[in-house]
Every structure is written in C-alpha cells, then in structure tokens.
C-alpha cells in the first residue's frame, strides 16, 4: 500500500487565488489599520481565517443545488434532508436553521436557560453569548490537560467528569443541561472520547438533566475516536456517529463545518413538547419549519454533504492535511499546541515572540507578519480577541493564552498550499527578533477584535494600551 495520503478528489472547477507583491501587502495592511479582519479577499492569497462555510462543495452537491425544491411549505428537499438526518442521528424532530447560532438560541430559549447554569466541556463563543443573553450562566469544565500546550493527550476536548459530578450535585435544580461540544473548538478542535461522552451522558441521566450536543464537527470527532480510542478501530465512522447521537436528547449543529455547505444549521430533539415550542420560535425568527431560513437548494446540498462527510477517504485526508501542516511547523521548531486539532493548527505566540508582551498583541504581530510575508491570513486568538481594556488606562487585562489559529477550509487547498504556508511561516520565524508589537488606536467596547484599528509599536517596549472610544 502506498503511504502517501492523497486529496481524495480531482478538481473540476477552479477559482484563481490572488497573488500580490510584498510592497502591495504592506500597503493593504496599513490601509486595513493593521487588522487582518479588515482585509478584502482580493488581497489574500491563502485564507485561514476560518473553516466555517469556506469549504468546497462537490459535483454531487452542486447537482443537488439544481434539484432543490423551492416550495415554501412541504419542500421535497426538506424531506430528503430529514431522512438523511434521521438515519444519521436517530433523533425524532429535525428543524433546519440558517446557521448554528440560531439553533443554539432557539434550543436554549425553549429549554429555559434563564437563571440557570449550563455545564459544558467548553461553550463555543456563540453558545456562551446565547446562554448569557438568555440570563443563564455558562460553566466550562474541560480537563486540565486542555490548557497545557505541550501535553499530548489523545482527547483534550474531554469534560472533567469529577468536576461535572460535583457541579451536578452541588447545583441541583439550578442546572439546565449538560452540553458537550464535539470536537471542542475552544481548546483547538480537540476531540472528545466516546467513553467521556458516555460517562457525561450517564451523569446527566442520573441527575435527570438533558444531555445536549453542539455537533458542528461530529464527523471529525468520530474519526478521532476511530483512530485513537481503544476498541473502536474496526467500527465504521457512521456507527460511531450514530452511537454518539444516540446518547443525546437533542443537538445543535452549524452545518458550515462538517455539513460541507456554505450556509445552514440543524436543531434536533426527541421531546415532542420541546419540538413544538422550538417550531413556534423557529417560525418567528427563521421561517417555516420545512425551510428554516434556508433556500430549498441549501437543504438539498446539505443532505448530500452530511453523507459525503462520513466517507473515510475524505476524513483521513482531512485530518491528515491538518496534521501534515502541524508536523511541518513542528520540524521548523515553531511553538505549537499539541497534538494537531481536527480543523486547525494553533501557534503559541507567546513562545514565538517572547519579547512582545501580551498587551502588545504578539498573536496579531504574528498574523500580520504572516500576511506581509506571504499573503496568508490567520486569526489572533489572544488578548486582542478576548482581553479587555484596562479602565484605569494601563495595559489591557490579558487573555489566558496568546494564540494564532490557522484554520483549514475543507477540500479547498492542496498539499502544495500547506508546503507554502510552512515555508512562509519558517521565514517569519527566522526574523522573529525584528518583529514588534502593536498598539490599539481605536476600539469598540464589544467584539473589538473585528473592528479595532492598530499601529505598530516603534522603539522600546513602551506601554501603549490604546484609548477606548
């Protein structure tokens, strides 16, 4: 058997990617006020901002798009999707939504989150925001290894079962649900083991709490289980996926990830009353329950995507391509989060630029250096994104870690693109001593990372925290 894992597809439609010059990239970045979120796609050669809705659809999905049924109520495309989802997950009620966060909002609202606590391995940002918006309290109970970049635990996305039991015991009626995010996006796309999911589900049951999944990357999680968990090697991904969903009372899914589509979400539950309430809210905020904010063609493409994502050739290539980039960077000595996640490689910016303090955004310094050197856009996940301005005017309150995420879109880039990324990052690493930090010149009070304006810090490590406007 040849050892090379190939892209398990050939390319039928191509989209040219922009090639720019060093001089131009410097101009573009300055015009974007040194915030890569403000760059335009025609200025970017390789975009690793996110894997959400950025993947390529297959010929079969595009064929399904043409077959999509745009009937307002009772669309054939809905029933096709419903059949695929029921077979995949076994859940009784299938509600489409326009994307994951709307599924979250509806489910959390009908489950009565107000004044209650949601216990999770980790809440994804939008889930956390929705819990808080509904006046609930999100509590993250991921295992401690998740916060140790060097520790090579096979299932760093797991929930700490002891802590979960303790919280269930102590909080009693205050707990609204137990929620598991698979894979665990917040800690780097790290998987959750089947054993951990089963034990968490059993605890939820013992304390009479609903067990809910945030299943955006359900197929990647199942692939990791098949590869890494004892006794799972001979099972099919479909079987593992089904066993995972059989544990839950309901799930939300952003289909922009493992659904292999550019837009779409799902909300599924078993309980009839809950489903009725969810449908009512869905009609109010998304649309009729057989389209949920999507076009019929979107439902049709999703029905195909949810089947394709289970193909083991695809999953093997997907996880291998992320691991390939991770390994190439590791060989260059670049400080990384270990092991590679399912959808992204995370660089430890504190170790990359030890001379840049957290309040001068070493992660942003790295994303900007990467853009200038090779037109690659990554994303800072550190103090610019999660830190807060210091009310007294001093340096920012910093985030727990300064990371840069390089997120790999599905079926979009090839191995030569990965080689290019590694080469550019190698060059950036060679010149790390010359790189300086940044200071904010303008920011908003919420979600500042998306809109902030910055400038490079020149001269010594003066403390420039920036002003709040």
Task: Name the residues that contact ligand PLP, by CB under 6 A.
Answer: 52, 99-101, 124, 126-127, 181, 185, 214, 216, 254, 256-257, 265
Contact 120, 138 (CB under 8 A): yes
Phi, psi of 397, rounded to the nearest 5 degrees: -75, 120
Contact 100, 253 (CB under 8 A): yes
H/E element, 179: strand 175-181
User: Going by C-beta distance under 8 Å and a sequence separation of 6 or more, which residues neighbour residue 327?
Assistant: 340
Minimum distance of ligand PLP from residue 100's CB (angstroms): 2
DSSP letter (8 states) at residue 37: G
Which lies closer to ligand PLP via its Cβ, residue 101 or residue 359? 101
Closest CA to 166 of 147, 187, 139: 139
Q: CB-side exposure of 137: number of CA atoms within 13 Å? A: 9
Residues 191, 155: Cα–Cα separation, whole Å: 5
Phi, psi of 159, rounded to the nearest 5 degrees: -90, 150
- DSSP secondary structure string, 204-215? HHHTT--EEEE-
Contact 343, 48 (CB under 8 A): no
Point out the residue whose Cβ comes nearest to ligand PLP: 100
Minimum distance of ligand PLP from residue 214's CB (angstroms): 5
Residues 383, 403: Cα–Cα separation, whole Å: 9
Contact 179, 214 (CB under 8 A): yes
* Strand pairing class (265-269; 250-254): antiparallel
Contact 120, 197 (CB under 8 A): no
Closest CA to 325 of 404, 400, 214, 219: 404
Q: What is the largest distance, in Å, between two alpha-carbon atoms of the chain?
A: 66
Interior CA angle at 441 toward 438 and 442, to 5°? Answer: 125
Alpha helices in 71-184 (DSSP H): 76-89, 100-110, 125-133, 161-171
- DSSP secondary structure string, 242-307? HHHHHT-SEEEEETTSTT-SSS-EEEEES-HHHHHHHHHHHHHHT--TTTTTS-HHHHHHHHHHHH
Residues 170, 168: Cα–Cα separation, whole Å: 6
Phi, psi of 33, rounded to the nearest 5 degrees: 55, 40
Sign of the Cα pseudo-torsion (85, 87, 90, 94, in order):
positive
């Amino acid at each position: 058997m040849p050892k090379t894992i190939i892209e398990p597809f050939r390319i039928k439609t191509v989209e040219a990617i922009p090639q720019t010059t060093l001089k131009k990239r410097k101009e573009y970045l300055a015009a974007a006020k040194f915030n890569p979120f403000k760059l335009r796609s025609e200025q970017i050669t390789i975009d690793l901002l996110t894997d959400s809705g950025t993947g390529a659809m297959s010929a079969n999905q595009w064929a399904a798009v043409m077959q999509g049924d745009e009937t307002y109520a009772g669309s054939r495309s809905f029933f096709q999707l419903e059949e695929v989802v029921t077979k995949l997950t076994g859940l009784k009620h299938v509600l489409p939504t326009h994307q994951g966060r709307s599924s979250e909002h509806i489910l959390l609202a009908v489950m009565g989150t107000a004044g209650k606590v949601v216990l999770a391995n980790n809440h994804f940002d939008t889930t956390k925001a929705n819990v808080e918006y509904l006046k609930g309290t999100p509590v993250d109970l991921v295992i401690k290894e998740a916060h140790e970049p060097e520790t090579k635990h096979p299932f760093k996305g797991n929930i700490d079962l002891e802590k979960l039991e303790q919280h269930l015991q102590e909080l009693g009626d205050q707990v609204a649900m137990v929620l598991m995010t698979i894979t665990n996006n917040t800690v780097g796309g790290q998987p959750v083991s089947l054993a951990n999911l089963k034990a968490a589900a059993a605890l939820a049951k013992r304390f009479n709490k609903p067990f809910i999944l945030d299943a955006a990357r359900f197929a990647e999680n199942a692939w990791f289980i098949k590869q890494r968990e004892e006794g799972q090697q001979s099972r099919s991904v479909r079987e593992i996926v089904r066993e995972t969903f059989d544990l839950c009372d309901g799930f939300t899914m952003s289909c922009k990830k493992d659904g292999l589509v550019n837009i779409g979400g799902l909300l599924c539950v078993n309980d009839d009353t809950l489903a009725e309430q969810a449908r009512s809210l869905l009609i109010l905020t998304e649309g009729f329950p057989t389209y949920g904010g999507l076009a019929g063609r979107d439902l049709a493409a999703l029905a195909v995507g949810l089947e394709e994502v289970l193909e083991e050739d695809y999953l093997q290539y997907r996880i291998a391509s992320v691991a390939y980039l991770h390994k190439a960077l590791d060989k260059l000595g670049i400080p990384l989060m270990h092991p590679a996640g399912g959808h992204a490689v995370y660089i430890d910016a504190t170790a990359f630029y030890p001379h840049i303090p957290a309040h001068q955004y070493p992660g942003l310094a790295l994303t900007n250096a990467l853009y200038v050197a090779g037109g690659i856009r990554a994303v800072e996940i550190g103090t610019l994104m999660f830190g807060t301005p210091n009310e007294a005017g001093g340096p920012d309150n910093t985030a727990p870690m300064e990371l840069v995420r390089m997120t790999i879109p599905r079926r979009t880039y090839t191995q030569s693109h990965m080689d290019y990324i590694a080469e550019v990052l190698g060059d950036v690493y060679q010149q790390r001593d010359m790189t300086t930090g940044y200071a904010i010149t303008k920011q908003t009070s919420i979600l500042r990372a998306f809109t902030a304006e910055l400038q490079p810090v020149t001269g010594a490590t003066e403390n420039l925290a920036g002003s709040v406007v």
